[in-house]
A and B are shown apart, each in its own frame.
Chain A
Amino acid sequence: MTNSTDPANGADVRDALDGTEAPDSIDGANVIDAPNVIDGVNKMNGVNVNDGAPGPAKKANRPTRRYWRTGFLRGAIELRHLLRNPREMFGQLLNVAVALMVAGFISDDVPGTHIPMAHLTLAGFAAYLLFQIGLVNLPQILVTEREEGALLRLRATPGGIPAYLAAKCLLVVVMAVGTLALLLIAAALLVDGPLPHGPGGWLTLVWVTALGLLAVVPLGAAIGAVLPNPREALALIMVPVMGLLTTSGAMFPITSLPVLVQKVASVFPLKWMAQGLRSALLPDAARAAEPAGSWELPTVALVLTAWAVLGFLLAVPLLRRAARRESGSRLTARHRKAALSGAIAA
């Protein structure tokens, strides 16, 4: 990680985080709110607001379906590229491998129970991997593709932005479910890992996974829309993510942490995702190690829903803004800046 002190990049972050268009910024000012972009983003969220965009109303339904179809085709192609690219897959596989190794080395039990500690850790890893896909991988993909010009190309293509978002939804869901399945199956086969007990456990696994993704994916999209460039993006995201990983009780019982840290961590979704997955994967006896002495599933649902709502509220305007800010000159300026900071670093 290069510690870039490029002041221009700093200005860009500030500019990007600023909700309103800075009047003195050449890049930010006077960029167009293209109706097709707005329209597309609205459709993506099922809020089919027709804001007076030209075009016959009776046709409104058909293009939407075409966007989704094109988007899913696009997502399928992107998935194929991901699977064919070993370097991309390596990160995910490494995560799973680390989880399995850690689980293999832990031999004690969850305090006060006869449940292997490894099970708790694996459930925590499962939650963390979902969390990471939404809040680390997704923003990175978005920032990288914006920098390369894919977002601009799709903006210049009819129906491009809705198709792009649909493709990313598919990509993220498949990545998340695939990683989760790989982790649980490999753990079950190799280190006697946990699997849900009975239909209730499976159901919990499904809804916690779905709600967990809803909590982190829109948030990750919002983050991806404002982060400056791929290199700095990773640094900016990883610090808080690592902080949450150690304080959310994902890897070890949260009760061993100071109360204040517990309280802070319980604001964020990772703790609740981990707790929800523990409830799905561990027997009820493991509740003894929970801070509240129970799984608190209603709270899990509530907190994750709240984050999902917040994420959507942030993601829609920020993505729309990111798309409409794209133009050729902006792209060129960023490439020049990247080349420049690269030259200085070298």
Chain B
Amino acid sequence: MTTTGHTSTTPMALRATTTNTPLTTTQPIIRARDLTMSYGGVDVLHGIDLDIHRGEIFALLGPNGAGKTTTVEILEGFRQRSAGEVRVLGADPERGDDAWRGRIGLVLQSWRDHRRWRVAELLAHFATYYPDPRDPAELLSLVGLTDQADRQVDRLSGGQRRRLDVALGIVGRPELLFLDEPTTGFDPEARHDFHVLVERLARDEGVTVLLTTHDLVEAERLADRIAMLVSGRIRACGTPSELARGAAAQAEVRWTTDDGTARRERTEDPSRLVWELHRDAPGPIADLEVRRPTLEDTYLHMVHREDDGTDGGGDSGVGEGLGRGRDGHGDGETRAA
């Protein structure tokens, strides 16, 4: 079972996940084919196909328990897959040696280590492990921690700590950077600065970024492409706008008729509907509004389609996905498949 079958209703998304793309000029930084994982006979990943290219910011979305962490840990070389082919930076992550490790940066949300170290001291120390490290002082100013250089790590705020983790993740000039829920606990300004930093790394230095997040706004803002992982399968993959347009959610057109009743209609082709309305109407149409489906609509649609029991962690994941941006329009209809 590949993703192809599931995305057949969405031509754009389909193109993005097409398997057997002839590999011509550039090898993808991450390439997975039919990646499968099972724990004790229970499959948690059912044949993932993934191509992530140099300089791309790629976001992996999905509810808790969908297999995001498992997928990423397989790519990071921390977990052994059950089956399938995986190449990361040209090597099988299960056999990645020190040189391979040195080309990969990691920012995890769980790190609380090296509490007693001073910020600059820790960064300078980790620079010594790499053949061509960044200048620690420059790096500190890059992540905005210059003023905290002499501070002990456990006296940093949550956001500062995470920025230090980012600095440690890129001190070795990685070609590939894994970011796991990187902005959890950031205030809006820190989040913005972080996004600018990640974009700079990708654009100016060609760093490839694989981001896992629950924050749909962040994914939409940062990612060149997004894959939605639900119940161990990639349900959709494409640019944020492709996904928003693509999957299930139809656009919603609202207007008010001459006799004052509010109408709403869901359609695949809002432009045609609006044209027809105008054609039939004697004059301007009151309160006319076209709502394009958002990434969140797509996400919720994908997740809810899976709600029939298979996905144990799904409920909490949806809760987190719901965290931002629902403005209360057409709840029931949005979710109807």
Contacts and interface: CB of A to CB of B under 8 A. Distances in A.
B39 interface: yes
B77 interface: yes
A160 interface: yes
B85 to A, nearest CB: 16
Nearest to A334: B110
A158 B94 CA distance: 15
Interface string A42-56: 000000000001110
Interface in B25-78: 37, 39-40, 69-70, 72-73, 76-78
Contacts of A26: 39-40
Residue in A26, A54, A145 with the greatest tally of chain B CB atoms within 10 Å: A54
Interface in A1-38: 23-26, 29-32, 34-36
A115 interface: no
Given A26-B39, A36-B97, A156-B106, A149 B79 contact: no
A148 B113 contact: yes
Contacts of A55: 97-99
A223 to B, nearest CB: 21
Interface residues of A, number: 42
A328 B78 contact: yes
Given A153-B113, A160-B129, A63 B98 contact: yes
A36 B93 CA distance: 12
Contact of A34 (B69, B77, B110, B115): B77
B98 A145 contact: no
Contacts of A35: 95-97
B180 interface: yes
Contact of A156 (B101, B114, B125): B101
A23 to B, nearest CB: 6
Nearest to A150: B113
Interface string A147-171: 0111011011111100100000000
A191 to B, nearest CB: 34
Contacts of B126: 157
A65 interface: no
B141 interface: no
A30 B82 contact: yes
B211 to A, nearest CB: 14
A158 B101 contact: yes
Contact of A77 (B80, B110, B121): B121
B125 A34 contact: no
A138 B117 CA distance: 19
Given A31-B80, A157-B101, A329 B69 contact: yes
A148 B112 contact: yes
Interface string B2-38: 0000000000000000000000000000000000010
Given A31-B80, A35-B97, A156-B101, A70 B117 contact: no
A328 B129 contact: no
Contacts of A70: 128-129
Contacts of B115: 148
A329 B108 CA distance: 9
A31 B79 contact: yes
Contacts of A85: 116
A160 B102 CA distance: 10
A335 interface: yes
Given A36-B101, A55-B99, A145 B80 contact: no
A185 interface: no
Contacts of B95: 35, 53-54
Contact of B99 (A74, A149, A155, A158): A158
Interface string A179-209: 0000000000000000000000000000000
B108 to A, nearest CB: 4
B40 A29 contact: yes
Contacts of B37: 30
Contact of A73 (B79, B104, B128): B128
A331 B91 CA distance: 26
Nearest to B154: A148
Contact of B96 (A24, A31, A34, A149): A34
Interface string B223-255: 000000000000000000000000000000000
A54 B90 CA distance: 13
Given A30-B82, A158-B129, A159-B129, A53 B97 contact: yes
A19 B310 CA distance: 32
Given A30-B82, A70-B129, A77-B125, A328 B96 contact: no
A327 interface: yes
Interface of A: 23-26, 29-32, 34-36, 39, 53-55, 63, 70, 73-74, 77, 81, 85, 145, 148-150, 152-153, 155-160, 163, 326-329, 331-332, 335
Interface of B: 37, 39-40, 69-70, 72-73, 76-82, 91, 93-99, 101-102, 104, 106, 108-117, 121, 125-126, 128-130, 168, 172, 180
Nearest first, the 5 closest Cβ-Cβ pairs linking A and B are: A150-B113, A24-B40, A158-B98, A327-B78, A331-B110
Given A30-B81, A31-B80, A152-B108, 18 more contacts: A23-B40, A29-B39, A32-B79, A32-B93, A34-B96, A54-B91, A70-B128, A70-B129, A77-B125, A149-B113, A152-B113, A156-B76, A158-B172, A159-B129, A160-B129, A163-B129, A329-B70, A332-B109
